[in-house]
Amino acid sequence: MIWVQRDIRLEARPRGFHLVTREVERELPELDRIGVGLAHVFIRHTSASLTLNENASADVRRDFESWANEAVPEDASYWTHTVEGPDDMPAHVKASLMGPSLTLPVRDGSFALGTWQGIYLCEHRDSGGSRTLTVTAFGEDRSG
């Protein structure tokens, strides 16, 4: 049985939905040793989130951002937590709606995702800065 836990620092990205699957896999070389297992990916922030969706068309990521901005507007009169800027409270709500984590199957050394699936970093702040993921992966050793 293999257990690994690693913090992965993602570079700062602009507000929006960003495909980070390959970056996460690259920063977790021990994944290659797991034949069958699971990986839990957790974002350690309250104004960004993770989700799993379309990995081919950038239009999908843009449409997610458009929907999120329409569903959770910055200029809502009912926001009271505004000291950190107009994008802060909406970012917290969006992060809760999308969620802080994913649990992914691991097979033969990589995430066992569907053909068109990828991990999104959902950056909900205009200038959120770098983000940290804690990835915990475990499973049976591929070597036997």
**pLDDT tens for residues 29-82?**
999 999 999 999 999 999 999 999 999 999 999 999 999 999 999 999 999 999
> What is the SS3 assignment for 49?
strand
Please, are residues 35 and 140 in contact by the beta-carbon 8 Å criterion? yes
pTM for the full predicted model: 0.95
Provide the token pair at 81: 């937590």
> What's the confidence (pLDDT) of residue 23?
97
Rounded to whole angstroms, the Cα distance separating 118 from 19 reads 6
Provide the token pair at 17: 């939905």
Q: What CATH number is attached to the domain comprising 33?
A: 2.60.120.460
Q: How many domains does the chain have?
A: 1
Q: In sequence order, which ranges of the chain are alpha helices (DSSP H)?
A: 21-26, 58-71, 88-98
Q: Which domain holds residue 38?
A: 2-141
For the cut 90, the answer to whether the pLDDT of residue 144 exceeds it is no
DSSP run (H or E) holding 125: strand 117-127
